Every structure is written in structure tokens, then in C-alpha cells.
Amino acid sequence: MPHIDIFVARHEKKDGDLEKKFKEELKAKGEVWMPGGTLDREQMCLSADGLKDAKALGQTLFGGKGYDAVSVCTSNFLRTKQTANAILEGAGFDVEKDLYGNSRRARFRTEDRLGLGGTNWEAPNIPDFKKDLNGYVSGVLDKYFLERADQPAGNPNIWPVMARRSAALHDVLADGVEEMATRLKPQQRGLVMVITHCPTIDALAGVYTNALNWRATGTSQNGAQVYDVKLAQPVEAHDMGQYMIGSTLGEDRPQWTSVPLTIKGKEYSMPVLQLQERARELRRISLTAVQK
């Protein structure tokens, strides 16, 4: 029977020396390093150790499995694309031929809603905003999910990061498994791989484990639905290798109904239809609601 392996991971270690160089150059110009900004997104690459570790991970997890089809999705950050390429190289793929050539074996896509991509970090010009930006990003899991009810509606500086990013990852996983199911024949094996960032992975893990919960509590003065959002417990699915992995079996396409993942040593599973429904709900909430 066909078999699909599922892999969701954070990018490997970025080049700290290069980041330090960028920051020093910006400081000399009187500018500040912006996490998620153009420089961070397009030029912040992996370190030599990061590339080495990604290749080793690919060899350990996927080497010798002889995949008949591969579906890869990364954020629009250079380091996520480098991580995906290195993992596949470690697994024995000819990346240029299999991913960027005319091979029908692999499907590669970039999704700018995964991770910090798509969030406009560079637009705000508020006093002290740049100084507080790193704290804002690091506190995104336990302090931020939607726009705050006590802030002006539509404030572009407090985009609903967690809801939007989590919705994107739900979509990518459901689409990847469904698309892979149409490509595999009996006895074949496929890989669905997503390389993104910690906040995105933690958001998905929070939904899978029911640690991230939200409930409607009323309506704000401007008519937006107000949600009480809580992270019941830290999930931190990205530690100890910074990835989640799973696999699913099926004799024919109708049986490809779930997306299983192992998170912190425990197995969880969510039906594809539920993943898609959660994505729609999270997108709707992220666009129309505020947080209590």
C-alpha cells in the first residue's frame, strides 16, 4: 500500500557572524536590524554548521527510502529554502534536477504566509517600536494572537500573526497530503515537507494538542467579535531537533483522511477536512476579530 511521510521543521541555524555584520553596517548608517525585514528575509543564510546539520538530518530521517514523489513548501526566507535543499541533498536527492529541473518527481512551492513572511515589519514608524520589536516577536506565543480589543481597529502594527500563520500551515499540510495522494500508486512512497519558523510550528502544535484555545466572548464597540485567547501550556514543538514528523498509510485515495504528527513524543492526528476547516476559521478570525 502507498505511504506518505510528513515532516514539519524550523530552518536550521542561521549565520550569526553574517547577522552581526549586517547589524554593524546598519548601525553605522543609523538604521536598525529588522527581524523579518527584507535583509533578514532575502540575505540571512544558514551557517556552515546549519547546512551540515540539515544534510545529516536528511540522511538520518529520509536516506535510502527511495521516495517516488516529494512535495516541499518553505516560507519566503532564504534560510528555509536552504534548509529544505540541504535536507533533500542529505536524503540522496539531486536537488537541481529533482526540484528545479523538469522532473515530475518533486513539487516545490514558496508560501509567504508561513513564518514571519507576509507580516509588514518595516512599515511602522512608532517611537520605540524598533527597540521593542524583538520582545514583540519573542513574546508572540503567549501574549499575542489577534488584534487587541483595546487598540484601534485595523492597526497595521499589530497584525494577527499567530492566527494567520497557523492557518497557512494548516492549509499547506492538508493540500500537500491530498495532492500527494493523487500522485502515488500502490506500493509507492511520498514525502510532504514544510520548512518554516518557530512561531508557525508552535501555533500548529498548540492547535493539534488543544493547548491553543480561543472562544468568542462578545462584540467590541466597532462591531468586531471579541475572542478570549489562551495558550494552555507551552508546547515548544521545535526543540530537540526542531521538527515534527508523522506518516500515514492508505490502500486508495479515500483512505488518505488524516495528517498525523508526533509532538514531544506523543502522537496526534487531525483529519484533512478538519485541518481545512480550522484554516478557514483561523483566517476568518484573523481578519474580523479582536482579542480580549
The domains of the chain, with CATH numbers, are 3-291 (3.40.50.1240)
- Burial class of residue 126 in the structure, from the number of CB atoms within 10 Å of its CB (0-12 exposed, 13-18 middle, 19+ buried): exposed
Cα-based angle 254, 98, 243 (whole degrees, multiple of 5):
65
Q: What is the pLDDT of residue 124?
A: 44
Name 227's bridge partners.
Answer: 216, 291
pLDDT per residue as tens, the chain (292 positions): 688 999 998 899 999 999 999 989 988 988 777 767 778 889 999 999 999 999 999 999 999 898 998 999 999 899 999 999 999 999 998 887 766 666 667 788 888 777 654 443 443 444 455 445 444 444 443 344 455 556 665 554 444 556 666 788 888 888 888 888 888 888 899 999 999 887 778 778 888 888 777 778 888 777 777 777 666 665 555 444 467 788 775 545 445 578 888 887 788 888 888 888 888 887 777 777 666 6
Q: What is the pLDDT of residue 138?
A: 44
Q: What is the pTM of this model?
A: 0.81
Which letter does DSSP use for residue 255 in this model?
G
Q: What is the pLDDT of residue 191?
A: 93
Rounded distance, CA 225 to CA 215, Å? 10
Rounded distance, CA 5 to CA 191, Å? 5
**Residue matched to cell numbers 480550522:** 278
Which letter does DSSP use for residue 100 in this model?
S
- C-alpha cell of 255? 483512505
Residue 254 half-sphere exposure toward CB, CA atoms < 13 A: 0
Q: What is the pLDDT of residue 86?
A: 95
